[in-house]
Structure 1
Amino acid sequence: MFLFLLAALSSCSPRLSYFTQDLYERNRWSDSELKKIQFYLSDDVYLRRKLGDNSSEIVEGKVRVVNGQKIEEIYIPRSTPGVFMFSPKANRFAVAFENGSDSRFLMFGPNPKAGERFVLLAKDWERSTGTVTYDGKEYEVNYGAAFAGLMVDLRRIDRQDRNSRTAEGRKVD
């Protein structure tokens, strides 16, 4: 009984795989098709930015005081679902992981060092941090976020791409 229940539950859970350049090229999805795909984040991403003394405009991020400095933090946990917003150029995806402003997105693209997986892109990586734009503001991310990638449920995508039906049979009148 327990094995049956375990098998039933596991068949319902998503089978997440990394979204890769090869997968993208094989399927040749348009932007409208990409908007129908549920993406997931592979690893935790922490966004941090220092606030000036006069900054008081914090909407949904958490503010902490570290060594006398105000720091705004936004945490996006692994497995957070995201949606494709737009593609500013070839092989670049803007993906949003929260509701609200359409400017709350992160950029992803294929990385040859990560097996052509679509991973978080930053303006630049310097030592242990990168700089990303989120909600129109610049944030720092730690180096570990460089390999945070997009994941998809391949079984669900396969079901969407397949047009099938079951014949009910036909009887003599």
Structure 2
Amino acid sequence: MQNKILILAGLFMMVMSSCSPRLTPFTQKLYKENGWSERDLQSIQFYLSQDIVLTRQMREGESAIKDGKVKVVAGREIEEVRFPKGTPGVLLFIPKINRFAISFEEGGDDKYMMFGPNQKYSGKYMMLAADWDRDYGTVSYNDRVYRTDSNSAYSALLIDLKAIRKTTIKKKTAKGRTVN
């Protein structure tokens, strides 16, 4: 009886794992090999590889919080915006080569973070900051400046490569038209 339960539990785990997407890091090599255009990339679902937490100190008189939670730390009001591991996101635009503006939240085109390839980590597209110090980075999000801890620097973009390969993108190049 115990063997039957173990076999059934094993089969259940195999079925469940085959249904969930197997996420692959989005890398510079993958991007180049596939030759995706900005439009192609906007149809790809991205995911976060690990948590990102943004914090900023509230200014006096600032009380309307829409995006995050307010915490009191050492007598100061701190706004916190949290993006858990696995959060889905979409490409909004590519401001320059190898820079992606990825949004993980509805409600405005100012709610995005920048990602780009990091050669130290096999060209994975990882979160970028305006400035990194030892313990934190400075990130612009929703027209405000936030701080994020150094762990967020390791957050990379993931994609479901199997789902993308099932999708066919038809492309053609116009050859032009001449006068008869």
Aligned residues: CA RMSD: 1.4
Structure 1 Cα separation of the partners of residues 114 and 144 of structure 2: 14
Residue number in structure 2 paired with 1:109 = 116
Whether 1:18 and 2:7 are equivalent positions in the alignment is no
Is contact 1:91-1:109 (8 Å) kept?
A: yes
Structure 1 Cα separation of the partners of residues 168 and 124 of structure 2: 21
Whether 1:7 and 2:11 are equivalent positions in the alignment is no
Pairing 1:2-151 to 2, within 5 Å after superposition: 2=8, 3-151=10-158
Is contact 1:114-1:147 (8 Å) kept?
A: no
Structure 2 Cα separation of the partners of residues 152 and 59 of structure 1: 29
Structure 1 Cα separation of the partners of residues 161 and 11 of structure 2: 23
Structure 2 Cα separation of the partners of residues 133 and 162 of structure 1: 33
SS of 2:33's partner is helix
Unaligned runs of 5+ in 1: 164-173
Structure 2 Cα separation of the partners of residues 72 and 93 of structure 1: 25
User: CA shift at 1:162, angstroms?
Assistant: 7.5
Which letter does structure 2 place at the counterpart of 1:38? Answer: Q
**When the two structures are superposed, what TM-score results if normalisation uses the length of structure 1?**
0.90
Number of residues paired by the alignment?
Answer: 163
**When the two structures are superposed, what TM-score results if normalisation uses the length of structure 2?**
0.86
Structure 1 Cα separation of the partners of residues 147 and 163 of structure 2: 34
